[in-house]
Amino acid sequence: MKEDGGDPSPAMPSSDSPTQPKRILDSPSESPKPQKLLRSVEEGCGGGSEGMSQNPRVQRYLVAVEYIGTRFSGSQRQPNCRTVVGVLEDAFHKFIGQPVSISCSSRTDAGVHALSNVCHVDVERISKRKPGEVLTPHEPGVVRRAVNHFLQKCEGDITVIDVRCVLADFHARFKALERTYHYRILSGPELLSTFEKDRAWHVPEELDILAMKKACSILIGSHDFSSFRATGCQAMSPIKTLDELSVTEVLPSLYFPSIMERSEMESLNGSLSCSKTSEHELPANSLDTSRMSIQKNRTDCCQGFGHRSRHRCYVITARARSFLYHQVRLMVGVLKSVGTGELTVSDVERILNAKSVTAASPMAPACGLYLGNVKYDIP
């Protein structure tokens, strides 16, 4: 699927249909060794040659954005459709007063979200008072604040989270070393919360997480993933290396502790509320309490009128340099079927060996998929 990778082939229209062609970045040997990003700081791009374009009139910026995919018709610009690139290009145009062309590291289909998608854009800073006069490139911080100013005047569902200066030959797609996707599943018979609409896949059945974990182990590594490759995929080879495929039970994202949980956390002197502290640094009893809170999601821990039962929340994480068209959502569909008992762990191996997408379970919906991170070689 387009939300599952990057590639050097010609751009194709974004669509959520599994028959839509997709570009894909093939094996690392088919692209040049990634150019290291130069460090940039807020004082930045204008003060020296580091990170500057080879053409002193133009500066290339690497831009990371987060967005809710619900109201976007995918990431790539399309005529008469609201897309991520289209909205970003419009915001840059308003900022610098001239049109720009933006290239994304990873395409996402309609309804797919991003915690951090990365793109690059070339900007020539021309004086608005004296047309034709070229000025020193804007600092990254200035670009971030200015573009966000115009983005927030729109729907407010996309935000620039980071900007860096890079060399003119740095390409957001071709230089990517790794992509990480997350898929959220909410399990339980209750109707999905209004706040979770279009943010997760609601599965009414209980899921066997241990069976799902065993199924993940079969898919990790280098395989021919033809069974998880939608029709129209333009990758030259179906062989991909999956570095990680995991299933983790977590607390729901919009989590408000009950009176009992607040009391427990208070007794830990706030250790659970220190978001910058890693799990390895937390005291053992705090981890036990956190796990206990997750266990409570299996029952109605919030008693009384007006309190809804919580769903169990699972996050499936897939990490690789690149993915086939719709690979992640097809894998999630199979893992869900294992969790509900429709498939066995041995069925997953059979599906993988079949090397045909017709052997796989129905594809998971777009609403639960998040592009989590795109990794580069940053010194």
Task: Tell me which residues are annotated as active site.
Answer: 109
What is the per-residue DSSP string for 173-197? Answer: TTT--EEEEEEEEEESSSPPPGGGT
Structure token pair of residue 189: 């018979």
DSSP character at residue 341? T
Q: Which residue from 329, 334, 332, 362 is spatially nearest to 350, judged by alpha carbons?
A: 334
Q: Are strands 369-375 and 113-123 parallel, antiparallel or unpaired?
A: parallel
DSSP character at residue 12? -
The residue with tokens 């954005």 is 65
Q: 289-326: b or e for each residue (b if 16 or more CB lie within 10 Å)?
A: bbeebbebbeeebbeeeeeeebbbbbbbbbbbbbbbbb
Q: How far apart are CA 370 and CA 363, in angstroms?
A: 15
Q: How far apart are CA 246 and CA 340, in angstroms?
A: 17
